[in-house]
Structure 1
Amino acid sequence: MAFGFATAAVFVGWYGPLQVLLARQAEGVDGAGKEAVLALVAAAGALGSMVANPVWGALSDRSGRRLPWVLGGAVAGAGGLVLLGTATSTAGMVAGWVGVQVALNAPFAALSAVIPDQVPENRRGTVGGWFGLAQTVGIMAGTGLALVGGTVLSGYLACAAAVALGVVPFTILAKEKVPSRQSTKVKKTPDFRWAWVTRFLINLGNAIALLYLLYYLKDEVRVADPDAGVFLLTAIYAVALLSTVVAGGALSDRLGRRRVFVCAAGLVMAVAAVLLAVWSTWTGAITAAVVLGVGFGAYTSVDFALVTEVLPTAADRGKDLGVINVANTLPQVLAPVVAAPLVALGGYPVLYMVAAVVGVAGSVLVFRIKTVR
């Protein structure tokens, strides 16, 4: 339970800004160029995250501790959110969001490594499901907290409080069980690289699709209250995810198979992107949220379990999971580069069709992994 609270807290700190606050802030900084401002801020933050995650993971490996990195990173991240809430320029937003991303990757890197530290391989699908569930709770809570008080600053303050308080129970109650640095067992296979490529492509497809969700609802679907629309879609997505995130991981454990679940889940997520491309209505957006939640639920739990089974060495789990997590953050750097010209040249239908194609490519390539069934 405490582990779930800590995980959710980190995702509150990320997704309150990503789902609502950064977009609203960008619009206040430059209403006419809001897409470009948001793209720059999101890309800079993702770049900071991409560098920070493996570094924090390696430091937690070498220190033989996970808990100090969880607490210290969360406190620093909460402070960064408060400062970000006061930014009134593009430069201020970039600096603040990079700081938040760098700080919050410390607890995320440590929390990710706790599962392979303490959970046997044949139960990691189930535990990965609970890990994914906690992330979803954090995304939903962050979106809701971002709307507290009605102002950008009040939203940031609410998210900061949740981040700082949410990790406290875990750091008090959890026990350390970090592998010895003397571990010599090393897996020398290309599967680690293929796991990275698969995750990168599926996450790139999602990042392309979700970056401009607020603007899609406002400008394409023409929802009267796009902020509330984002929150409602997030809630619908979360409920749909609940139907598969734990069940998918548990079924994967029972059958002893990972790849087919990852492939199927990725294809379902690609269908959600196609729906957004061809059905630009509020009903279409709701349907896509349901489909995306069903697919991403199974993907989150099973892909995490798969990745933990191809890590090169137990002694470097934190660092290696950090490298894998680059496949989550690098798409956030590249998505603005890809998405902005796609929207400018072909509009949202082209944007979402490209997202679907990229996701399908990642889904199929999972079968290049040979040492996991």
Structure 2
Amino acid sequence: MRAEHQPWWFVALFALAAGGGAVAYVPLLTVLLPLKITSLMGSQDVSALAQVTFFGAIVASLANIAFGVASDRSGSRVPWILAGLLASSVLLVAIGEAQDLVQLVALVMAWQVGLNMMLGPLVAWAGDCFPDSQKGTLGGALSLAPAMGALAGSLVTFEPLIASGQRLWVVAGLVCILVLPVTVLGRRRERASLMAPRPEAIAEASEDQTRAAVARMWFARFLVQIAEAGLFAFLLFWLRSLSPGFHENQAANIFSTVLICSVPLSLVIGRWSDRHGRPILPLSACAAMAAAGLAVMAASSGLTLAIAGYVVFGISGTIFLSLHTAQTLRVLPQPRNRGRDMGFFNLTNTVPSLVMPWLTIALVPAFGFTALFALFAALSLGAALLLATIRRRT
């Protein structure tokens, strides 16, 4: 029986909650944490930041899986979301009070536990609520999240409006404002048909097909995320290698423009995939477009063509990641393990940040950014081919 569609207001509230998750970590990890480390460590800030980021990524990976399992077994996601919201908000403010690197590392690791107590069950809750025929629309709405995270970073660093000592308080407040409405107004919107175990006969008959689809979805996202992590970390360095005077504000503006342009396109493409019953085709097409953008970047010697290539990659990659999150819920084998399985998919977000620096160190000093972007293009093309081989499920 086809599950009942969710109303638009619930889609919007869920998208805002996902945006709240991005607001919780984007300003901290991209701006506020590096500033805090510099104030504590001075010239040793780069190595200290690497240490904090490394341990934080490991804890985030484990915590997301653990709380996904916990929400599966408890049979209720919302209490975990609320507990994670409270814990992560308190610990976020506490990070600003750290007095040395040891305290800072411990607080960031604890904050990652609280954050993933909220995020893991939140993503799994989407699978409990939104039917397959609405997952493209959900994925399009989720594209708001990275844009909201970037805008929040700009807001809290606007000194005429927010004092430096109040930044983390403001971030915590914004997260609560964005996440709380869906937990209050969206209670009991789960669909029984989406939470019922799949019949064993059906599960066994399609086990090989399901396992293959899950593996392809996982590896495809992992490959694209390596390229995303590389561009996130080294975009400014690359642009300055082409134009030494390129200002950081210009790079930030390009990054923000890409995220903002991705939102309406994601909504249109996601809605199209729902109407035509083609959930995987847009993912494969976006991965291929991302590969094309990276190929242009690899071949570029001038700034204009290079930026054009990045815009193609950035928009395609953002659409891909937003739609992929929602469509992943379609291929998971059993609803009773949805939180756990999405926790393992979350590794595609954290592990690339650990892999990418080694690729950069191996390639850029000897061969320049051209070789790095050529590798990223090959990985994205591989993702497109993996997705193209997934058998369509009706």
TM superposition score normalised by structure 1: 0.86
Contact 2:262/2:318 (8 A) holds in 1: yes
Aligned 8 A contact 2:72 2:338 in 1: yes
Out of 295-304 and 64-73, give the one that drifted further: 295-304
Q: Supply the distance in 1 between the matched residues of 2:42 and 2:377 (Cα, whole angstroms).
A: 29
Equivalent pair of 2:214/2:331 in contact (CA under 8 Å):
yes
1: distance between equivalents of 2:55 and 2:241?
Answer: 25
2:225 corresponds to: 203
Which shows bigger deviation, 294-303 or 51-60? 294-303
Q: Tell me how far 1:236 sits from its aligned partner.
A: 0.5
Correspondence 1:331 to 2:315: no
Using the TM superposition, give the Cα deviation of residue 43 of structure 1 relative to its aligned residue in structure 2, in angstroms: 2.8
Distance (whole Å) between structure 2 residues aligned to residue 215 and residue 15 of structure 1? 20
Which residue number in structure 2 is paired with residue 165 of structure 1? Answer: 177
Residue 197 of structure 2 is aligned to residue 175 of structure 1: no
Match of 2:375 in 1: 354
Going from structure 1 to structure 2, the CA distance change for 1:304 and 1:155 (only over 3 Å counts) comes to: same
Identity %: 26
Unmatched tracts of structure 2, length 5 or more: 1-11
* Residue among 224, 230, 235 paired with 1:213: 235
Total equivalences in the alignment = 371
* 1:265 Cα deviation from its structure 2 partner: 0.6
Work out whether 1:193 is the aligned partner of 2:193. Answer: no
Matches within 5 A, 1:148-163: 148-149=158-159, 154-163=166-175
Contact 1:13 1:159 in 2 (8 A): yes
Contact 1:12–1:159, Cα closer than 8 Å, also in 2: yes
Alignment of 1:51-70 (within 5 A): 51-70=62-81
Larger radius of gyration: 2
Deviates more, 1:40-49 or 1:121-130: 40-49
Give the equivalent residue in structure 1 for 2:388: 367
SS in 1 for 2:331: coil
CA RMSD of aligned residues (A): 3.1
Cα distance in 1 for residues equivalent to 2:93 and 2:276 = 46
Once the two structures are TM-superposed, the CA of residue 195 in structure 1 deviates from its matched residue by 1.5
Work out the CA distance in 2 between the residues paired with 1:283 and 1:240: 18
Q: Is the 8 A contact 2:147 2:256 kept in 1?
A: no
Task: Give the C-alpha shift of residue 214 in structure 1.
Answer: 4.8
Residue 39 of structure 1: how far off its partner (Å): 3.5
Pick aligned residue for 2:275 from 242, 254, 259: 254
1:260-339 equivalence runs, <5 A = 260-279=281-300, 283=304, 286-339=307-360
Write out per-residue CA displacement over residues 122-157 of structure 1, whole angstroms, 9 at most, x where no aligned residue.
Answer: 121112211222x13322223213423388654433
What is the rounded CA distance, in whole Å, between the counterparts of 1:359 and 1:257 in structure 2?
20
Q: Which moved more, 1:157-166 or 1:69-78?
A: 157-166
The whole-number CA distance in structure 2 between the counterparts of 1:357 and 1:102 is 34
**Is the Cα–Cα contact under 8 Å of residues 147 and 260 in structure 2 kept in the other structure?**
no
* TM-score using structure 2 length: 0.81
1:145 aligns to 2:155 (yes or no): yes
Please list the CA deviations of residues 207-263 of structure 1 after superposition, one character each: whole Å capped at 9, or x if unmatched.
Answer: 12212335555676445652x345312320122202321111111122222333212
Aligned residue among 13, 25, 35 for 1:14: 25
- Give the match for residue 125 of structure 1: 136
- Unmatched segments (≥5 aa) in structure 1: none
Assess, with a 3 A threshold, how the Cα gap between structure 1 residues 83 and 40 changes in structure 2: closer, same or farther. Answer: same
User: Kindly tell me: are residues 58 and 337 of structure 1, through their superposed partners in 2, closer, same or farther at Cα, counting changes over 3 Å?
Assistant: same
How has the CA–CA distance of structure 1 residues 154 and 351 changed in structure 2, closer, same or farther, with 3 Å as cutoff?
A: farther
Secondary structure at 1:148 match in 2: coil
